[in-house]
Structure 1
Amino acid sequence: MHKKKSTIALWVLLIFALFPIQALAVEYSISNVTIEAQVNADGTVDVTENHTYRFEGEFNGITREIIPKGGTLVQQFSATEGNRKLKVEHQENVYKVFRSGEDETITIEIRYEIQNAIVKFEDGAQFYWPFFDDRNDSDYEQLAVTVLPPAPAKHVDFVGYDQAYQTGNLQAGGSVRFDMGTVSAGSNGDVRIIFDEELFPGIAQQDGTIRSELTDEKDRLEAEALAFSTKQNTSRFWGNGFVAAAGAFLLALVAWAWNQARQMKLQAKPNTTDFFVPKQKMSIPATLYFTKSSILTPAVTAAALMELVRKKNIEQLSEEKFKLISRQTDYIHEEKLLELLFDKTGDGEFFETTDLENYTKNELNHSSYNDSIAAWRNGVVEEVREHNLHDKHLALRVTTGFIGTGLFGAAIYFGLLDLLPLMIFSIITGIFLLAFCFYSPITYEGHVIREEWKQLQRAMENLDQTEWNRLTQDDKMRAYSYLLGAEENSANQKTQSFTNAYSDAAFANFGLFYNPVLLTGLFIAANANTTVSASTTDSFGGGGGVGGGGGGSGAF
């Protein structure tokens, strides 16, 4: 046990070591970011950023990743809150600003300088910079970037890419402001501005011009935007029809399936209200699995044992002692139950309830017990499967699967075109249609079985002694076994009252001393012992903006 605890501790430490951010996640949102970039005549840029964070729970500070473009350098990074200077740690391109608290909204001001940020050409000087890129892990609810010239500028050209496209506006004095609004994590948004070259007399001039290149870029982006808009409108038109048709098909399919099930269930209802025990079509455990629950409870196991007594495979000598009479069984799950009770826990001929209790108290036997119970359950499931009580509807399943898959493909396409309503409806409709790939409604015969045993259970709640006495001993045993297995709690008042009223006279010829509390409780305890053991043992089973620059925001 000490070794297991040590192993768990090592796993926890390893998880924290490999995934520290995920293990210690901080809940936050960034409601507002303003970035002001003051371009200087010497080619440096002084950047002032204000980040407003809303934190939920405890936090230690914020992070800012600034990845400089090739040939540039970021330095003199500092952070303040109001007039208070904050501690900053720097590792590669990530700056950690320490400001701890809990459930607060804070605004941190960040300042830094970009060196060699301006490239001067014959007809202008260019500032081309990504303040964030697709490596950013945080959403910005409101983002604005303002770039100011070193002196009033007359001939200013600019363009924004991706999230910054068509968000720029020329301000007084030649400043350019990009109001980007909401910017999702993983987005790019480079800004590119050309000022008058004479504003930068101290910078070496490169050969060639730049303004024509910017004009070509504007034309390219405009053409791409027009093509995107045309494609978007065409896709919206056809997409609306396709998704609407798929939705109508889904609604019609659901209505048809519901009506089919309702009609079949009505037709399967017994045509008599008289009390009767249904004919034996499946074993009692299989009948309970099909009509009540796919979870085979200890009560079902107790009912299975009672069935073996009814079939004369076992003789019950007392409340606690059983004798094996015959190993010739009708089903594989009955064979597995006999092996568990008489071979593993008993002596091969006799089985006592204390044998199972002692067997499952020994931790070394837990795996063997669970294997036997699993084999028994698998046998019950296999018996039900062999009766083919569910329709396959292969053609329908293939059709809905094909359409559902097509809708998921369409959803991806709509998402790329920013047609979010169509994407959402495609996903939702696709999920429901793909669900029909597993559509296998109960057959008429299956509904008959369910309705007959359901009527039996209702009738036995207030059964008259005279009606009970009319049944054969075999029918009494089957009815009683079903009622017992259908009740998860063997101490249930209904089961107890029925046992007290009918069991003595009904089962005298069987030599049965049936105690539902004792026998069902025995399997409950066995399952509990082995489940605890099992749960204890098996606990573990390139991006970037322009020139390689970019960055993002976070918290810790």
Structure 2
Amino acid sequence: MIQGTVLCINLLIIKGVVKIKAKLMTGFALLIIILFSLTTFIACAERSFEITDYQAQVKILENGDIQVSEIFEYDFDGDFNGIIRTIGIKGSDGFKYFKASEYFPEDKELEYTQSLNADMVTYKIYDKSSNERKLFLLEYQLRNVITLYNDTAEFYWKFFDESNTSPIGHVKIEVELPAAEVSAEELKVFGHGPLDGKVSIQEDGKIVYEVFRLSSGEMVEARILFPNSMIPDSSKIINQNKFAEIMKEELGWAKKAD
């Protein structure tokens, strides 16, 4: 009886040890999973990207639409599924078309989805990237952007607004008018954005607006006055004289900036 009792006690102890070992193994496995998950999360959280350059070519059409070609240069550190571009459409009649492509290193059209929030259209453009440099080409046309007054035509457009969260190393915007020949009295160009931005009129008649460092939350906006005779097919007509009022407004802003 004593031997049997001892045997039973030993068996109970062995079972207890087995249970303890099983619990320890389960706990250890759970700890490994947690540590692995944390490591994976940290690795994902540490990924980053930089927009090093933005180039835009804008062509003003005779009907008041604008055709835009944008090239974004991205430097990816980590794995990404694509990029996001948000474009304001206030002051226009919306998009006629939109096309997204990878411009470098490959040349291919990309799929995208779009969503509308008030006057902002957000495009999610899908293209897997990992630790590499890429160029993306966005092409689109916006309807009725140019406003036709009695004494001038006005192009007034934001390329980036205060909601932009990504700094950009260099911004260059070229605007092409429907006709190259225009007098200095009729052509007025203004850039709104960082104070070190530069606006110039080239020999070929193109207007260039350049910013050498755009911080997040800063806007880039161009305003151009030119002869309304260049937009003979425009339907966005306001029966007012506006040239003097706009010039007064711009000069007032320039004084405040100084």
TM over 0.5, shorter chain = yes
Please tell me the root mean square deviation across aligned C-alpha atoms, in Å. Answer: 2.3
1:223 equivalent to 2:223? Answer no
Correspondent of 1:181 among 181, 188, 212 = 212
Q: Which of 205-214 and 92-101 deviates more?
A: 205-214
1:73 equivalent to 2:94? Answer yes
Question: Do the aligned partners of residues 213 and 32 (structure 1) sit closer, same or farther apart at CA in structure 2, a change above 3 Å counting?
Answer: same
Greater helix percent: which structure? 1
Which 5+ residue runs of structure 2 have no aligned equivalent?
A: 1-22, 38-43
Would you say the 8 A contact 1:156–1:174 is kept in 2? no
* In structure 2, distance between residues paired with 1:25 and 1:39: 42
Question: Do the aligned partners of residues 49 and 87 (structure 1) sit closer, same or farther apart at CA in structure 2, a change above 3 Å counting?
Answer: same
Would you say the 8 A contact 2:144–2:234 is kept in 1? no
Question: Do the aligned partners of residues 171 and 214 (structure 1) sit closer, same or farther apart at CA in structure 2, a change above 3 Å counting?
Answer: farther
1:300 equivalent in structure 2:
none
Give secondary structure in 2 for the equivalent of 1:108: strand
Residue 191 of structure 1 deviates from its aligned partner by: 0.8
1:136 equivalent to 2:164? Answer yes
2:180 equivalent in structure 1:
152
Would you say the 8 A contact 2:84–2:123 is kept in 1? yes
1:105 equivalent in structure 2:
133
1:244 equivalent in structure 2:
none
Residue 123 of structure 1 deviates from its aligned partner by: 1.5
Give the alignment of 1:320-331 within 5 angstroms: none
Residue 80 of structure 1 deviates from its aligned partner by: 1.3
Give the alignment of 1:294-333 within 5 angstroms: none
* In structure 1, distance between residues paired with 2:174 and 2:246: 19
Task: Give the residue type in structure 2 aligned to 1:146.
Answer: E
2:201 equivalent in structure 1:
170
TM-score, structure 1 normalization? 0.36
Give the alignment of 1:241-320 within 5 angstroms: none
* In structure 2, distance between residues paired with 1:124 and 1:165: 28
Give secondary structure in 1 for the equivalent of 2:251: helix
Segments ≥4 residues shifted beyond 2 Å = 23-26, 162-166
1:352-385 deviations in whole A, cap 9, x for unaligned? xxxxxxxxxxxxxxxxxxxxxxxxxxxxxxxxxx
How many residues are paired up?
A: 209
Give secondary structure in 1 for the equivalent of 2:211: strand
Residue 207 of structure 1 deviates from its aligned partner by: 1.5
Residue 94 of structure 1 deviates from its aligned partner by: 1.1
Give the alignment of 1:50-129 within 5 angstroms: 50-82=71-103, 83-92=107-116, 93-129=121-157
Give secondary structure in 1 for the equivalent of 2:252: helix
* In structure 1, distance between residues paired with 2:122 and 2:254: 35
Would you say the 8 A contact 2:91–2:145 is kept in 1? no
The sequence identity of aligned pairs, in percent, is 24
Residue 105 of structure 1 deviates from its aligned partner by: 0.3
1:100-142 deviations in whole A, cap 9, x for unaligned? 1210000011001111101001121111000110100100000
Question: Do the aligned partners of residues 164 and 66 (structure 1) sit closer, same or farther apart at CA in structure 2, a change above 3 Å counting?
Answer: farther
Task: Give the residue type in structure 2 aligned to 1:35.
Answer: A
TM-score, structure 2 normalization? 0.74
* In structure 2, distance between residues paired with 1:163 and 1:114: 25
Find the structure with the greater CA-based Rg: 1
Residue 87 of structure 1 deviates from its aligned partner by: 1.3
Question: Do the aligned partners of residues 81 and 222 (structure 1) sit closer, same or farther apart at CA in structure 2, a change above 3 Å counting?
Answer: same
